[in-house]
């Protein structure tokens, strides 16, 4: 029993709820909007594969589930969320009658002493709202603002605040970076002259604790720039075409940080650009046909420098038994007949399984470990 408990603890320490970026990151996953695929690249720029599923139309936001490594994809025109496992096999589809061009997926934060379940925030762009779902895919609530106009990507901060790239909203009508407090109330909006069509936002942890975390924002039209802000909405840095490869014009879309503090920006339909944490251009590589839009970095468990990237949810030599149990749970989360449709890939309901986390907590408590709230939850954020 104690050996099994230790194995489960090892698994949890590498797959806990977390803010981005993950402690260990792997390949790049890029949504190919016009070809209805997700393209996978290594960090050297080599395309490794593409995957899709029937019905996926206009993939936009891509996010990795921090509990099991599943890949969530927002279908903008199919009005659904698709969940793939680490082998890129579809395991579940989430639909809702109010979905109207969902474009972004953000997993909420969680603290060890909290009893709050993991939530999933969906930017419902053409309905001018952020919809909040349970981890199992059940609709819970939504929030909006009178100046929302096509809200796109969002990023969560350590204090629970949320930044939203309000694409054509704000008082200017050309876009704004909106900050919402923990109560989902708008705190302020930031706008710079030249911004138009704001697309993506990402948290930069900076490795020095939470107070100096900044956010980076992409503007897909107008000056087509990349901006860095502090948490009070003050502009810190602007990257324009003059700063990129000797004056190369790009159309920035998605943005994501790796475990080294570098970040990647997708340029609409053309290339992926890499910058260091200070915003200095490092390199670029082309993307193939399909109109690249959003980007996410794969979450790895363990020390990838020693063993290579083992995706969350995949059995490793140190935690194969626990990983197998987690995989069983990942493919059997349930919806409800009174809730939006959450359909398993085999076409049937995905309900009926034993609650894995409840079982897991019982095992841990029997093993003599302290139990708190509903889950054990060590942090996974870089620098912690």
- Residue at 374 is within a domain: no
- CB neighbours of 14 closer than 8 A, spacing ≥ 6? 301, 302, 312, 319, 380
* CA 121/CA 346 separation, integer angstroms: 25
- CB neighbours of 105 closer than 8 A, spacing ≥ 6? 61, 62, 63, 72, 73, 74, 81, 120, 121, 122, 123
- For 76-105, how does the pLDDT look when each residue is reduced to its tens digit (9 = 90+)? 999 999 999 999 999 999 999 999 999 999
Structural domains in the chain (count): 1
250-287 in b/e form (b: 16+ CB < 10 A) is bbbbbbbbbbebbbbbbbbbbbbbbbebebebeebbeb
- For 303-327, how does the pLDDT look when each residue is reduced to its tens digit (9 = 90+)? 777 778 888 878 755 444 333 333 3
CATH number for the domain spanning 160: value is: 2.130.10.10
- Residue at 348 is within a domain: no
Lowest mean pLDDT among 15-19, 61-65, 79-83, 124-128: 15-19
- Residue at 108 is within a domain: yes
Instruction: Say what the pLDDT of residue 209 is.
Output: 66
- Residue at 270 is within a domain: yes
- Residue at 369 is within a domain: no
- Residue at 199 is within a domain: yes
- Residue at 338 is within a domain: no
CB 47 within 8 Å of CB 32: no
Q: How confident is the model at residue 109 (pLDDT cuts 50, 70, 90)?
A: low
- Highest mean predicted confidence (pLDDT) among 18-27, 73-82, 235-244: 73-82
Bridge-partner residues for 65, per DSSP? none
Q: How many CB atoms lie within 10 A of CB 117?
A: 16
pLDDT above 60: residue 377: no
* CA 357/CA 348 separation, integer angstroms: 23
Structural domain boundaries, residue 101: 2-301
* CA 218/CA 366 separation, integer angstroms: 49
């Amino acid at each position: 029993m104690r050996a099994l408990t230790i194995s489960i603890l090892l698994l949890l320490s590498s797959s806990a709820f977390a803010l981005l970026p993950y402690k260990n990151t792997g390949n790049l996953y890029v949504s190919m909007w016009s070809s209805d695929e997700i393209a996978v690249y290594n960090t050297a720029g080599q395309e490794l594969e593409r995957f899709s599923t029937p019905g996926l139309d206009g993939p936009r936001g891509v996010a990795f589930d921090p509990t099991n490594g599943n890949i969530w994809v927002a279908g903008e025109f199919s009005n659904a969320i698709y969940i793939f496992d680490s082998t890129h096999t579809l395991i579940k589809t989430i639909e809702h009658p109010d979905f109207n061009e969902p474009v972004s997926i953000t997993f909420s934060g969680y603290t060890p002493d909290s009893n709050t379940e993991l939530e999933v925030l969906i930017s419902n762009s053409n309905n001018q709202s952020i919809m909040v779902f349970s981890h199992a895919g059940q609709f819970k609530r939504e929030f909006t603002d009178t100046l929302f106009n096509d809200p796109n990507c969002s990023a969560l901060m350590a204090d629970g605040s949320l930044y939203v790239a309000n694409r054509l909203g704000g008082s200017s009508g050309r876009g704004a970076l909106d900050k919402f407090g923990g109560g989902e109330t708008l705190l302020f909006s930031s706008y710079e002259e030249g911004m138009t069509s704001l697309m993506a936002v990402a948290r930069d942890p900076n490795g020095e604790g939470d107070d100096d975390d900044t956010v980076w924002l992409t503007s897909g039209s107008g000056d087509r720039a990349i901006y860095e802000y502090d948490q009070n909405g003050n502009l810190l840095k602007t990257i324009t075409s003059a700063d990129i490869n000797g004056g190369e014009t790009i159309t920035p879309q998605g943005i994501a940080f790796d475990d080294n503090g570098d970040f990647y920006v997708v340029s609409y339909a053309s290339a992926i650009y890499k910058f260091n944490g200070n915003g200095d251009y490092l390199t670029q590589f082309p993307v193939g046909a399909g109109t690249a839009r959003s980007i996410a970095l794969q979450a790895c468990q363990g020390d990838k420098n020693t063993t290579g990237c083992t995706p969350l949810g995949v059995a490793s030599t140190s935690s194969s038994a626990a990983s197998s149990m987690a995989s069983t749970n990942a493919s059997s989360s349930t919806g409800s007949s009174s809730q939006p449709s959450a359909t398993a890939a085999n076409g049937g309901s995905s309900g009926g399984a034993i609650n894995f986390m409840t079982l897991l907590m019982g095992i841990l408590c029997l093993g003599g470990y302290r139990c708190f709230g509903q889950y054990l939850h060590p942090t996974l954020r870089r620098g912690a």
